[in-house]
Amino acid sequence: MDDKYKNEFGVFAERPKVEKKIYDGKYIFLGLIIFFAVVTSPLWQNLGKAIPAPVPKLDTPAIQKLAEKDRKCVQPLAFMRANHMQLLDTWRTEVVRGGNRDFVGPGGVKYTASLQNTCLDCHSNKAQFCDQCHNYVAVTPTCWGCHLDMTQKLAEAK
Amino acid sequence: MLEKALVGSKRYYTLLAILAAIFGVGFLFYLRQLTFGLGITGLGRDVSWGFYIAQFTYLVGVAASAVMVVLPYYLHNYKAFGRVTILGEFLAVAAVSMCMLFIVIDLGRPDRLLNVLLYPTPNSVLFWDMVVLNGYLLLNIFIGWNVLEAERNEVAPPGWIKPLIYISIPWAVSIHTVTAFLYAGLPGRGFWLTAVMAPRFLSSAFAAGPALLILLCLIVRKYTKFDPGKEQIQTLAKIVTYATIINIFLFFCEVFTVFYSQIPEHMQHFTYLFFGLHGHGKLVPFMWFSLLGMIFAALMLVNPNNRRDEKKLAVLCGLVIITTWIDKGLGLITGGFVPNPLDKITEYWPTVPETFITLGVWAAGFLILTILYKVAVSIKEEIGA
Amino acid sequence: MSINRREFIRIAGLSTLVGLGGKTAWELLLPGQVEAQLLPKANALAAKRWAMVVDMKKLDEATAKKCIDICHKVHNVPNLAVPNDPKVKMDPADVNRWQIKWIWSDHYHNAFPGQEHEYVQDRVQAMPFLLLCNQCNNPPCVRVCPTQATFRREDGIVMMDMHRCIGCRYCMAGCPYGSRSFNWRDPRPFIKQENPTYPTREKGVVEKCDFCAERLAKGQMPACVEVAGGALVFGDLGDAKSKVRETLKANFTIRRKPELGSNPQVYYIV
């Protein structure tokens, strides 16, 4: 009795022999190959090409005007590099929803919490300073749909 | 079970191809809407909801009407409906899917859709609508699929499905009630500010949904080996009859309150829809066709001889579907927005892109419906039901 | 103990890692030793309840136009009738449908529907009633918004958070005053001269007047009030000695559709 095979359909004399075979294997493997080729195509395209890491520049007129010791961002460089998006996200929530529009940075220095009016005042080189890095890491921040980069236009007007 | 959807006759594939093609065209127009904005529709600052939201409202009704086959079968042990519950449930799945697509295509910022979940807001009826619609979709998928699978294996459905079935009954009522509450609680819109809106929604839903189900049953019988059954269709026909009559009755309750009280904020919308206002009356012929057509259908359906003749029944069901669709799909939303809160009139009519996007969503819904019905019918054929 | 900069960065980095975001990092720091903080500006105007009185006896057509123009200018509100690219031809019907207005003027009959009668004074018939968001105490738009993109501030201002709006337009259906506008298309090609200090909007969101929240925050009165030459009185209802309270005490005022229970906070002297 013990060597009989049982499954949900009943009890059988022996385990049914099923031929081990992949049906339509040709199509399956061809499909898999095409799929992997498409998915990995960006890697192949860039193979062997060296794309230099962006170097954001701080040579804007507003920053140049500042004395060396005053050339500080609202937070330390390392923090800004890693967390500027969180900072801006906090700013927008606090400004719009909390009505808190002053940002007190290290040492009690006050800044108006505003991308358009504070950040861009110093970093008037948006294309070089912001876009270059964002393009490099392939992110598209939605800020610029509303917030205006007027630095170019204002400079032309002057 | 899904494998049943992959093999079919040439006719089945042709139908899928046609629906996919319509969906594709609609999708192309939707891409245009994504780049340009909702300005490609006929909407504007005065009539800020239109065709999309109207279709959504209509289809919530179609989805809710599945309860009309589920309730008699499970609560009253009306055995005959056992044959068609799966058709009702799968119709609900397709209808709710369309509802969700219509909501998404109506958003100005669909990329931010998840904000509704990130910032849940219980004081917004739209939040609750999201909850009940998603819940209803899941309920019907789970129930329909499991019961059908059990039927295929010729065993009783799993025990845990029973409570879900009982929950799905009030849940069906809730989806259309909450949808009515979207409109019925807005202070400045006299046309919608009425307590009979939810009952009226339900009655027109229980007319239109089962009417559509009858047509689908007739189609299934004609083109497959599965017959949903004469008795089933006759019972559904009775439901359609009385729901249509109740719907007309509630409409006249509304008309009485509005016109006997003579309050302008409530009257002017009806006046606009049925007689035109200050020379604007795009919808007048449609509204009269809808009202008179519905009355005619109800009168004909009351006569059992007309119901028993399935050809006549099909035509009358078609009429019920069209007239209730005009009532909700054209009149309800536009009528609420005209005249606007500043007593000005801007008329609304869907544009060509808007119409194609709408057709695309309907095609997507019928694609889902076709596939689900193919599975259900194949299994019914297989077990020789 | 004090937390040095390196520690602060570490905490900020950690909280980023677990998805808490920057603000939490600041809150993790000991009180009194925070390295960063957000506060209202020292010169911000504050109130228990902001409100406005529109004195129609003082408001003429020219002043009304001044108010509208300055508001739409400082807030980058597009004028769809005048595209920046002269080659773009706008259908007047589209201009009317897509119009965005934060403040506009309308006839007595449209401002106060149901109030008019056959024999209304000519003087009143001719008045350009300035209409704007009523900043209701019990705002239907806030009640219906599914994401709290529109919300009521403590001081009564009904704000829009453009970052959060999903464009469902439920608030437009909810507003009984037609005070809300939707961006049916990209507004930028219709803004003649952008105010560089204020953002524009994107297509797909709803906007409206917010009593110049951005100006109040800097200690300035709303833009329309500044140019109205006394025809618009703005102030704090919570302060019995404020100009709005005195004006309301000294004059008979009416409000738009008060019977709806939304409790509008823009009052009219006729």
- In angstroms, the CA C206 to CA B108 distance is 9
Partners of A90 on chain C (C-beta within 8 Å) are 21-23, 26, 38
Asked if residue C11 and residue C122 are part of one domain, the reply reads no
Asked if residue A68 and residue A131 are part of one domain, the reply reads yes
> At C158, which helix (H) or strand (E)?
strand C158-160
A interface with C, Cβ–Cβ < 8 A, is 74-76, 78-79, 82-83, 86-87, 89-106, 112-113, 116-117, 142, 145-148, 150, 153-154
* Type of residue found at B76: H
By residue range, what is the domain housing residue A18?
Answer: 5-46
Asked if residue A19 and residue A86 are part of one domain, the reply reads no
In the block, which residue shows the tokens 């509005």?
B258
Q: With an 8 Å Cβ cutoff, are C40 and A93 in contact?
A: no
Task: Kindly give, in sequence order, each residue whose CB lies less than 8 Å from that of residue B9, ignoring residues fewer than 6 positions away.
Answer: none
Q: What is the pLDDT of residues C209-239, one digit of tens each?
A: 999 999 999 999 999 999 999 999 999 999 9
* Type of residue found at B152: R
Task: Kindly give, in sequence order, each residue whose CB lies less than 8 Å from that of residue C129, ignoring residues fewer than 6 positions away.
Answer: C54, C56, C105, C106, C107, C108, C110, C111, C112, C268
Mutate to test the interface with A, among C74, C163, C191 (most CBs of A within 10 A): C163
Asked if residue C69 and residue C18 are part of one domain, the reply reads no
Asked if residue C110 and residue C243 are part of one domain, the reply reads yes
Q: With an 8 Å Cβ cutoff, are C147 and B186 in contact?
A: no
- In angstroms, the CA B329 to CA B315 distance is 20
DSSP C163: T
Closest by CA to A126, choosing from A99, A153, A101, A106, is A153
Q: With an 8 Å Cβ cutoff, are B264 and C178 in contact?
A: no
- Is C19:A89 a contact under the CB 8 Å cutoff? no
pLDDT surpasses 50 at C30 = no
- Is A121:A49 a contact under the CB 8 Å cutoff? no
- Is B338:B55 a contact under the CB 8 Å cutoff? no
Report how far apart, in Å, the C-alpha atoms of C48 and of each of B301, B330, C41, C155, C203 are.
Answer: 63, 45, 17, 5, 34
- Give backbone dihedrals phi and psi of C130, rounded to 5 degrees, phi first: -80, 125
Which residues on adjacent β-strands are paired with residue C207?
C181
- In angstroms, the CA A74 to CA A109 distance is 8
What is the per-residue burial (b if ≥16 Cβ within 10 Å, else e) of B183-222?
A: bbbbbbbbbbbbebbbbbbbbbbbbbbbbbbbbbbbebbe
Beta strands A102-104; A110-112: pairing state: antiparallel
Q: Is C95 contained in some domain?
A: yes
Partners of C114 on chain B (C-beta within 8 Å) are 264-265
Q: What is the pLDDT of residues A115-139, one digit of tens each?
A: 999 999 899 889 889 999 999 888 9
Beta strands A5-7; A10-12: pairing state: antiparallel
What is the per-residue burial (b if ≥16 Cβ within 10 Å, else e) of B315-342?
A: ebbebbbbbbbbbbbbbbbbbbbbbbbb
Asked if residue A81 and residue A23 are part of one domain, the reply reads no
Mutate to test the interface with A, among C10, C35, C191 (most CBs of A within 10 A): C35
C partners (3+ CB pairs within 8 A) are A, B
- pLDDT for the residue C35: 66
Strand residue runs (E) in B54-204? none
Q: With an 8 Å Cβ cutoff, are C183 and B108 in contact?
A: yes
Question: Taking the domains of chain B in order of start, what are their residue ranges?
Answer: 194-212+237-350
Indicate the number of domains in chain A.
2
pLDDT surpasses 50 at C21 = no
Largest CA distance in chain B: 65
Q: With an 8 Å Cβ cutoff, are A92 and C163 in contact?
A: yes
Half-sphere exposure of B287 (CA within 13 A, CB side): 18
Asked if residue A111 and residue A36 are part of one domain, the reply reads no
Q: Is C43 contained in some domain?
A: no
Report how far apart, in Å, the C-alpha atoms of A122 and of each of A75, B39, B353, C3, C214 are.
Answer: 14, 37, 45, 28, 21
Residue with more model confidence, A32 or A70 = A32
pLDDT surpasses 60 at C63 = yes
Helices B125-152, B161-184: axis angle to 10 degrees equals 150
Partners of C201 on chain B (C-beta within 8 Å) are none
Asked if residue A152 and residue A107 are part of one domain, the reply reads yes
Asked if residue C128 and residue C28 are part of one domain, the reply reads no
Residue C105 tokens, joined: 């003027």
Asked if residue A28 and residue A65 are part of one domain, the reply reads no
ipTM: 0.92
Asked if residue A147 and residue A82 are part of one domain, the reply reads yes
Asked if residue C230 and residue C156 are part of one domain, the reply reads yes
- pLDDT for the residue A155: 63
By residue range, what is the domain housing residue C8?
Answer: 1-38
Q: DSSP assignment of B168-193, as one string?
A: HHHHHHHHHHHHHHHHHT-TT-TTT-
Asked if residue A139 and residue A84 are part of one domain, the reply reads yes
- Closest chain B CA to residue C111: B342
Closest by CA to B191, choosing from B85, B119, B263, B280, is B263
- pLDDT for the residue C14: 46
Q: Is C44 contained in some domain?
A: no
pTM of the predicted model as reported, rounded to 2 decimal places: 0.90
- In angstroms, the CA B378 to CA B5 distance is 8
As a whole number, the mean pLDDT across chain C is: 89
- The 10 Å Cβ neighbour count of residue A23 is 7
- pLDDT for the residue A157: 64
- Closest chain C CA to residue A143: C163
Q: With an 8 Å Cβ cutoff, are C196 and A83 in contact?
A: no
- Would you call A103 helix, strand, or coil by DSSP? strand
Domain of residue C126, CATH code: 3.30.70.20
Task: Kindly give, in sequence order, each residue whose CB lies less than 8 Å from that of residue A18, ignoring residues fewer than 6 positions away.
Answer: none
Which residues on adjacent β-strands are paired with residue C106?
C129
- pLDDT for the residue C97: 94
Report how far apart, in Å, the C-alpha atoms of B124 and of each of B201, C76, C141 are.
Answer: 20, 30, 10
In this complex, the residue of C21, C25, C36 whose CB is nearest that of residue A103 is C36
Distance from CA of C28 to the nearest CA of A (A): 15
**Residue C6 CA to its chain's centroid (Å):** 42
Asked if residue C137 and residue C226 are part of one domain, the reply reads yes
Asked if residue A124 and residue A79 are part of one domain, the reply reads yes
Indicate the number of domains in chain C.
2
Q: What share of chain A is helix, strand, coil (3-state, %, to 5)?
A: 55, 10, 40
Asked if residue C152 and residue C245 are part of one domain, the reply reads yes
Residue C68 tokens, joined: 């509208």
- In angstroms, the CA B46 to CA C178 distance is 8
pLDDT band for position A158 (cuts 50, 70, 90): low
- Closest chain A CA to residue C188: A146
- Closest chain C CA to residue B184: C174
In this complex, the residue of C100, C110, C205 whose CB is nearest that of residue B342 is C110
- pLDDT for the residue C1: 33
- pLDDT for the residue A53: 86
Distance from CA of C128 to the nearest CA of A (A): 32
Asked if residue C33 and residue C60 are part of one domain, the reply reads no
Asked if residue A34 and residue A65 are part of one domain, the reply reads no
Asked if residue C70 and residue C189 are part of one domain, the reply reads yes
Q: What is the pLDDT of residues A59-76, one digit of tens each?
A: 888 888 888 888 888 988
DSSP C177: T
Asked if residue A129 and residue A83 are part of one domain, the reply reads yes
Beta strands C181-182; C206-207: pairing state: antiparallel
Distance from CA of C157 to the nearest CA of A (A): 11
- Is C240:C224 a contact under the CB 8 Å cutoff? no
Q: With an 8 Å Cβ cutoff, are B108 and C167 in contact?
A: yes
B interface with C, Cβ–Cβ < 8 A, is 36-39, 43-46, 48-49, 103, 106-110, 112-113, 115-116, 118-119, 121, 123-127, 130, 182-183, 186-189, 264-265, 336-337, 340-344, 346
- Give backbone dihedrals phi and psi of B181, rounded to 5 degrees, phi first: -65, -20
Partners of A150 on chain C (C-beta within 8 Å) are 194, 196
Asked if residue C31 and residue C60 are part of one domain, the reply reads no
- Give backbone dihedrals phi and psi of A132, rounded to 5 degrees, phi first: -55, -50
Beta strands C232-236; C206-207: pairing state: unpaired
Between A and C, how many CB-CB pairs are < 8 A? 102
Report how far apart, in Å, the C-alpha atoms of C115 and of each of B187, B188, C120 are.
Answer: 18, 15, 10
- In angstroms, the CA B96 to CA B369 distance is 11
- pLDDT for the residue B100: 96
Asked if residue C142 and residue C34 are part of one domain, the reply reads no
Q: With an 8 Å Cβ cutoff, are C39 and A86 in contact?
A: no
Would you give per-residue pLDDT tens digits along chain B (385 residues)? 888 888 889 999 999 999 999 999 999 999 999 999 999 999 999 999 999 999 999 999 999 998 999 999 999 999 899 889 999 999 999 999 999 999 999 999 999 999 999 999 999 999 999 999 999 999 999 999 999 999 888 888 999 999 999 999 999 999 999 999 999 999 999 999 999 999 999 999 999 999 999 999 999 999 999 999 899 999 999 999 999 999 999 999 999 999 999 999 999 999 999 999 999 999 999 999 999 999 999 999 999 999 999 999 999 999 999 999 999 989 999 999 999 999 999 999 999 999 999 999 999 999 999 999 999 999 998 887 6
In the block, which residue shows the tokens 């001889």?
B305
- pLDDT for the residue A14: 78
pLDDT band for position A2 (cuts 50, 70, 90): low
Q: With an 8 Å Cβ cutoff, are C23 and A90 in contact?
A: yes
Q: With an 8 Å Cβ cutoff, are C178 and B45 in contact?
A: yes
In this complex, the residue of C9, C12, C40 whose CB is nearest that of residue A102 is C40
Residue C42 tokens, joined: 């020292």
Q: What is the pLDDT of residues C136-194, one digit of tens each?
A: 999 999 999 999 999 999 999 999 999 999 999 999 999 999 999 999 999 999 999 99
